[in-house]
Amino acid sequence: MDPVVTCAPPASASLEVAGLAYAYPDGHQALFGVDLRIDRGERVALLGPNGAGKTTLVLHLNGILTAGAGTVTVAGLPVGKRHMAEIRRKVGIVFQDPDDQLFMPTVREDVAFGPAAAGMRGPELEARVRKALGQVGMEEYADRPPHHLSFGQRRRVAVATVLAMEPEILVLDEPSSNLDPASRRELADILRSLDVTVLMVTHDLPYALELCPRALVLSEGVIAADGPTGDLLADGNLMSSHRLELPFGFDPKSVRGKV
């Protein structure tokens, strides 16, 4: 008797984008038909030159912008008015400048703001705040004013404010910008430890290689390449044709296999 062969079910998708096109009111066409899928638990870098459409794409993920054509689906839910509250809980965006996210008198209050606005109260809220601060190593700073923290610490608190909502997808906009080497390493360790899907928008190509096994290149409003980050960064023709440049002397082949 032949052995029974079983096929593993396909991984569930955190994010599916199909034929996404968008033009701004002034007529500028930013996206021309973006197709991508990110499975649950993946860490994916979104790369591309300035003006490629990266920010426009990200703003579609939680409904800030509405597609002119095509669809965006988060954890099986189509992005649209019907599911907007749940979509915005599932897609957490960490801005490039943490001061855009931190506005309460203390770290604890900043991290509690989102869950409290969603109706959470009492011990459940306190536990959620403790967990989020613990995930980023900032528990001991809970009662400090955010503006008394270093830039790297504020960025970690900004991540915690998003984690407190227990998102499906964590979207990071230039997470390594303005960080010193120690803060950069600490944030990388935190991101590796999280059990969440990560989409990292960055011009920091070594950081993308360090953290994300897979990368997407968005160029002129379409996905121009999708594959292992090291392979894409080692493709000189691909890099030059989409205005992507590695730091002088950096060899992506030297760090492959370490992600």
| Distance in Å from the first CA to the final CA of the chain | 43
Please answer whether residues 73 and 13 qualify as being in contact, where contact means their C-beta atoms are separated by less than 8 angstroms: yes
CA 80-214-209 angle, to 5 degrees, is 125
pLDDT at 248: 83
Gap between the Cα atoms of 231 and 152, Å rounded? 30
The number of beta carbons lying within 10 Å of the beta carbon of residue 124 is: 10
Strand (E) or helix (H) holding 19: strand 13-23
Q: Using one digit for the tens of pLDDT, what is the confidence trace for 156-179?
A: 999 999 999 999 999 999 999 999
In eight-state DSSP terms, residue 56 is H
Mean pLDDT of 139-153: 96
pLDDT at 3: 46
pLDDT at 253: 77
Asked whether residue 8 carries a pLDDT value surpassing 90, the answer given is: no
Going from the N-terminus, what domains does the chain have, and what CATH number goes with each? 13-241 (3.40.50.300)
- Of 153 and 3, the structure prediction assigns the larger pLDDT to 153
* SS3 of residue 159 by DSSP: helix
Asked whether residue 180 carries a pLDDT value surpassing 50, the answer given is: yes
Residue 204 confidence class, pLDDT cut points 50, 70, 90: very high
DSSP string, 78-143: ESSGGGHHHHHHHEEEE-SSGGGT--SSSHHHHHHHHHHHTT--HHHHHHHHHHHHHHTT-GGGTT
Asked whether residue 107 carries a pLDDT value surpassing 70, the answer given is: yes
pTM for the predicted model, two decimal places:
0.90
pLDDT at 251: 83
Asked whether residue 67 carries a pLDDT value surpassing 60, the answer given is: yes
pLDDT at 165: 96
